A and B are shown apart, each in its own frame.
Chain A
Amino acid sequence: MTTGPGDFTERAGDQAYHVRPYRPPVNLLWWLRRRTYLFFVLRELSCLAVAWAVLFLMLLVRAVSEGGDVYAHFVTWARMPWIVVLNVVAFAFLMLHAITWFNLTPAATVVRLRGQRVPPAVIAGSAYAGWVVVSALVAWIVLRQ
């Protein structure tokens, strides 16, 4: 019986106790191992898209309020191919972000009406409904002119 380089090997009488638990190394690319892990990491990364969208929106608001040259400069900048691509990608991530979080809301919100639990689909559905209503309202305000 060979005794290897263990950290728990003890001796008692003529018996050796090899309690050397093996700890598998954690792979840095653990999130590639499974589709659901990859999806989770993309969902988490989508917060960067949210941050970018907020930043872009603030720059747009500033450009609109200053008007004139500042606005024209902003539009030229926003037209640049890499900004357009960035915005398209960010939009995709924003959709991912919104849809996954709306779908996950029922997990955190349990509502009981008359003793019965409101079905998760209804809770998620109300979030989507709210989104549609707000979007419709904004669209109406913007397109009124």
Chain B
Amino acid sequence: MTDTIALQVTRYRPDRETEPTVEEFAVPLHNDWAVLDGLNHIKDNMDGTLSYRWSCRMGICGSCGMMVNGEPKLTCASFLTDYGRGPVRVEPLAGFPVIRDLVVDISDFLRKLPKVKPWIVREDEEPVGAGEYLQTPAQMDAYRQFSMCINCMLCYSACPVYALDPDFVGPAAIALAQRYNLDSRDQGAEVRLDLLIHPEGIWGCTFVGECTRACPKGVDPAGAIQRYKLTAALHSVKSLLLPRGAR
């Protein structure tokens, strides 16, 4: 008889309740099972009505973010054995409206992302026939870390500013803006600066640092934002002292 571990899972069915409830399920405790495997076991064998998102099960698609024992985690990358004898609390990602069970509404991020112009902005586009833009390994190193974001939303979940002020642009979006700012092929840093120097942009961040702690891919969004603040401050000083020279 295999050992089991208790999963306490949040349920929310808007067609018949106004608030979430918690249901407990005993799932087999296998050495190599992720929390996601536990959820799949529940859905396949115990309660087919449990709704949650998942896809790649290898920590690269960003679908399966949930709160596990109060911490934002990718459930495919957290293992049942990490939680001792349990119980393991699985809740929808904090800071987002809950649509159903463990599924949250992340459309706010999808609306904010295009606003920071997360694409290569260039005044002069080279034709494809001219070959690739040259970029040395050192130049790529400058932005590589910020390009690793899988849009899993764990950073938004961890950020107390986002919880208190949903207008805050947020860690991942700003980190992605930085990814392009620091890319040697991009010429859009000025445009993005104008878009992000405001109280809901970089200045909304009070450097709590939880986003970096929560990030499963080592992106360090907090670092991206603080560096951006320094850039913005220097830019403001420069345009004050040399109004025409700074352009």
The digit string for B178-214, where 1 denotes a CB below 8 A from any CB of A, is: 0000000000000000000000000000111110010
Residues of B with C-beta under 8 A to A126:
none
A4 to B105 Cα, complex, angstroms: 20
B247 adjacent to chain A (CB < 8 Å): no
Of B14, B94, B206, the contact of A18 (CB 8 Å cutoff): B14
Interface size class of B (residues with CB under 8 A): 20 to 34
When A104-B226, A107-B227 are in contact, do A37 and B207 touch as well, CB less than 8 Å? no
**B126 an interface residue at 8 Å Cβ cutoff?**
no
Q: How far is the CB of B19 from chain A (nearest CB, A)?
A: 7
A residues in contact with B220, CB < 8 Å: 107
Task: Write the chain B residue with the least CB distance to A31.
Answer: B160
Give the number of residues in A that approach B within 8 Å (Cβ atoms): 31
B163 at the interface (CB under 8 A from A): yes
Contacts of B18 in A (CB 8 A): 4-5, 20, 22
A44 at interface by CB-CB < 8 Å: yes
Interface residues of A in 29-49 (CB under 8 A from B): 30-31, 33-34, 36-37, 40, 44
State the A residues within 8 Å of B (CB): 1-6, 16, 18-24, 26, 30-31, 33-34, 36-37, 40, 44, 104, 107-110, 112, 115, 117
Inside 8 A of B207's CB, which chain A residues have their CB? 104, 107
* Cβ contact within 8 Å between A20 and B14: yes
Nearest neighbor of A108 in chain B, beta-carbon distance: B226
Which residues on the A side are within 8 Å of B122 (C-beta)? none
If A107-B227, A109-B230 touch, whether A40 touches B138 (CB-CB below 8 Å) is no
| Contact assessment for A21 and B16 in the assembled complex, using a CB-CB cutoff below 8 Å | no
Q: Are B14 and A6 in contact (CB under 8 A)?
A: yes
Contacts of B208 in A (CB 8 A): 36-37, 40
| A108–B12 CB distance below 8 A | no
Residues of B within 8 A of A31 (CB): 160
**In whole angstroms, what is the CA distance A3 to B13 when docked?**
11
Per the 8 Å Cβ criterion, residues 196-247 of B in contact with A are 206-210, 213, 220, 222-223, 226-227, 229-230
Bound-state Cα–Cα, A112 to B208, Å:
26
Question: Could you tell me if B15 and A22 are in contact, using CB atoms closer than 8 angstroms?
Answer: no
| Chain A residues, CB < 8 A from B99 | 19, 21
In the complex, which of the residues B14, B97, B138, B223 contacts A115, with contact meaning CB atoms closer than 8 Å? B138
Known A-B contacts A26-B163, A31-B160, A107-B222; the reply to A19 vs B227 at CB < 8 A is no
Q: List 23 A-B contacts (CB under 8 A).
A: A1-B15, A18-B14, A18-B15, A19-B99, A20-B18, A21-B14, A21-B98, A21-B105, A22-B18, A22-B97, A26-B163, A30-B164, A31-B160, A34-B210, A37-B210, A44-B206, A107-B227, A108-B226, A108-B227, A109-B230, A110-B227, A115-B138, A117-B141
